Amino acid sequence: MAIDKVIEVPYALEIPVGPQHPALHEPILLKAYADGEEVVKVEVHTGYNHRGIEKLAEKNSFYRDIFIVSRVCGICNGVHANCFVRAVEQILGIEPSPRAKYLRVLAMELERMHSHMLINAVMAEIIGFDSLFMNIMRDREYIMKSKEIVTGNRVSADYMIFGGVRRDLSSDKIDKLRKLIDRVIPRIKYYKKLFMEDETILKRLVDVGVVKPSEATLYGLLGPVARASGVKIDARASDKYDAYGEIPFNVIVRNECDAWARMMVRWDEALESAKIIKYVLDHLPQDGKAVPDERRLPRRFPPGEAYTRVEAPRGELIYYVMSDGKPMPYRVKIRTPSVHNILNTAKFYIGYSIADLPVILTSWDPCISCMERLTIIDLRTGERRKVPMKELAGGGKKWVNPRYSL
């Protein structure tokens, strides 16, 4: 008998994880394909938070842009502002005072501590350890209070400015900061010990989402993700920007290469940040003014370009700023670490169970708000179309064409 129709039975089940709350309170879609409980393929879909930050920066003045780039990420807003400010300082040829450089380091290390504590708390929530989540978030308040003392704000600091910082520290505030840091250090050590010994945490994280050192370098992974796979990279140590060339600190590296190692790197880095903060408070220079007179800052920006890096909590953050002599920058290009750590890690979900997906995603500590900001314009018709990063990364010749503009 002739067969008129062939019915294809898929061997894998498609499971959408996200885009709302797949693991974090930010939108991203992991389109997973599973054979039974085993994940055999994952597609990463981003672009839900496109805001056009780069073009917005190019349409506003250099001074307004300090506030705009700070809004790329709510958690690490200080490092974004620092990277942009240092790029513009290179174009202007100005140098902050030693005291200002130390205060910048202080603000950025407080940011690193609260970011690492936050993602470890989220990991605890993801694996069902709600009481641990609430306890870590409670102790994170010591850091948020410290950040408020230094910058005047708990979250969006708006602390960086060309030639220095916006607020100085008095001796009373330095004493308050020492007490707060001394209170949080034992708590971080306790949580680190808990992550090393608790059976539930170990069963969910150990040997999950393994990234070999060769794979970390091949796929350009950054920050704690790379350092947890034995790759010793850190822009603070290589570039020695601001006061990092004068402050002793260790680059934390682990060799377990799994989700547990990535969380442990963050606990160790939080403790290392506490040491850096205490060093800054004990050795704060008295040379020069930390807060420049804004009325005397340049109003004309010479033509030029600058490329700066900073070690954000999630890894190497890059800014390219170009000036054509106008009050507004000609080009502002931002490359955030999450672009590498999310788009290049789809293969590392394969072979694990469906329940491991949110755990592995959380271990990358992604910042979704900076993932996509591209629009394609047909120069002949004016038609605008948003194009996924994945489509552009595929190298299709359709978009490498003079009739199209990014």
Amino acid symbol at 212: K
From edge to edge, which strands make up the β-sheet containing 375-378? 384-386, 375-378, 404-405
Q: Between β-strands 160-161 and 164-165, what pairing exists: parallel, antiparallel or unpaired?
A: antiparallel
Q: Which pLDDT score, from 0 to 100, does residue 401 have?
A: 46
Helices then strands, each counted (H, E), the chain = 14, 11
What pLDDT sits at residue 47?
Answer: 74
What phi-psi label fits residue 307: left (phi over 0), alpha (psi between -120 and 50 degrees) or beta? beta
Rounded to a whole number, what is the distance in angstroms from the first to the last CA of the chain? 57
Give the span between the Cα atoms of 309 and 244, in whole angstroms: 13
**Structural domains of the chain ordered from first start:** 53-370 (1.10.645.10), 375-406 (no CATH)
Report in angstroms the alpha-carbon separations of 223 from 245, 253, 317, 373: 19, 10, 10, 22
| Share of the chain residues as helix, strand and coil, in percent rounded to the nearest 5 | 45, 15, 40
Give the single-character DSSP code of 12. Answer: S
Provide the pLDDT for residue 74.
Answer: 84
Place of tokens 């140590």: 237
pLDDT at 406: 41
String of DSSP letters for 154-187: SS----EETTEES----HHHHHHHHHHHHHHHHH
CA 230/CA 261 separation, integer angstroms: 10
Query: What pTM value is reported for the model?
Result: 0.88
Which stretches in the chain have pLDDT values below 70?
1-11, 21-23, 369-406
CA dihedral 18, 25, 114, 306 (to 10 degrees): 70
The pLDDT score that the predictor gives to residue 405 is: 39
At 27 the pLDDT is: 82
